[in-house]
């Protein structure tokens, strides 16, 4: 059994064929899927999907691009969702400075201080609920690590990990896992290969981040949970292991972290 630990099946890309998408995933051995919220609306949709489909679990939280949505009402909504069955993590949460360094067309994007405040509020929620955190980090690794060091005992995963081996070691030292997506199958991704080769398999999980980041040989198409098997296959190739070994260990890690 494979577990896709990060999907966005609530998006419009699946509005016409979600059931068929889930059937294809099951046929490929992908029997559990974690659908991830990025704001209150998608958190609610994730929870609704989890209630409807046995194979789907939900997470709730505010992505850094949604930091300006943080208020007493949205905090109350998220607290309510965490009390529901099959809500297994807070996320995706974190910091994203990519657009802050780009053109003025992104002037509306939450500023660094606003993102940090929201991130810390979401981490407080993980501590209160004892749920794991799904971390989004983009051009913000130093701040992310510094903030997480102040939350002793927190657990979780850096999703769509794309950092180097030094960063990977720092993440593992904090007790977090690393999750990899279809971008590890792209040509000349030597940084990812080095990280995957060196870090313990027991600290790795797999995801699609669908509908984005379709792996080879499906690059350019809409991604879906079925293709998480290609991520596992690439990890097996890099580490010189069988696909069955990667399947077993990544599934074991996901089950333990998310309690599913």
Tell me the C-alpha distance between 43 and 36, whole Å: 7
Q: What is the pLDDT of residues 133-191, one digit of tens each?
A: 999 999 999 999 999 999 999 999 999 999 999 999 999 999 999 999 999 999 888 99
pLDDT exceeds 90 at position 215: yes
pLDDT exceeds 70 at position 105: no
pLDDT exceeds 80 at position 71: yes
Taking the complete model, does pTM exceed 0.75, yes or no?
yes
In 3D, which of 194, 127, 244 has the Cα closest to residue 178? Answer: 194
pLDDT exceeds 70 at position 104: no
Whole-number Cα distances in Å, 88 to 14, 36, 194 = 22, 10, 30
Arithmetic mean of pLDDT, 232-252: 98
Greater pLDDT, 112 or 104:
112
- Predicted pLDDT at 198: 98
Mean pLDDT across the chain: 96
Arithmetic mean of pLDDT, 90-117: 88
- Predicted pLDDT at 101: 78
Sequence-distant (6+) residues with CB within 8 A of 126 are 90, 132, 133, 151, 154, 156
- Predicted pLDDT at 103: 62
Whether residue 33 contacts residue 9, with contact meaning beta carbons closer than 8 Å, is answered with yes
Whether residue 168 contacts residue 178, with contact meaning beta carbons closer than 8 Å, is answered with yes
């Amino acid at each position: 059994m494979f577990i896709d630990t990060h999907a966005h099946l609530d998006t419009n890309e699946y509005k016409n064929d979600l059931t068929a998408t889930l059937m294809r995933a099951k046929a490929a051995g992908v029997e559990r899927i974690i659908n991830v919220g990025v704001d209150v609306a998608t958190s609610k949709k994730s929870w609704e999907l989890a209630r409807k489909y046995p194979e789907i679990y939900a997470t709730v939280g505010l992505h850094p691009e949604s930091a300006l949505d943080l208020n007493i009402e949205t905090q109350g909504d998220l607290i309510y969702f965490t009390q529901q069955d099959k809500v297994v993590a807070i996320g995706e949460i974190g910091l994203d400075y990519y657009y802050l360094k780009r053109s003025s067309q992104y002037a509306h994007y939450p500023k660094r201080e606003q993102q940090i405040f929201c991130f810390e509020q979401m981490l407080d929620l993980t501590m209160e609920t004892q749920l794991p955190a799904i971390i989004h980090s983009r051009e913000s690794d130093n701040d992310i690590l510094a903030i997480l060091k102040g939350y002793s005992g927190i657990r979780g995963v850096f999703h769509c990990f794309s950092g180097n081996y030094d960063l990977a070691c720092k993440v593992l030292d904090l007790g977090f896992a690393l999750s990899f997506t279809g971008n590890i199958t792209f040509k000349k991704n030597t940084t990812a290969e080095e990280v995957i080769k060196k870090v313990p398999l027991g600290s790795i999980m797999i995801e699609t981040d669908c509908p984005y980041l379709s792996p080879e040989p499906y690059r350019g198409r809409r991604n879906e949970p079925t293709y998480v098997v290609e991520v596992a296959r690439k990890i097996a190739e890099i580490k010189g292991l069988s696909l069955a070994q990667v399947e077993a260990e990544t599934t074991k890690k996901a089950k333990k972290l998310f309690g599913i």
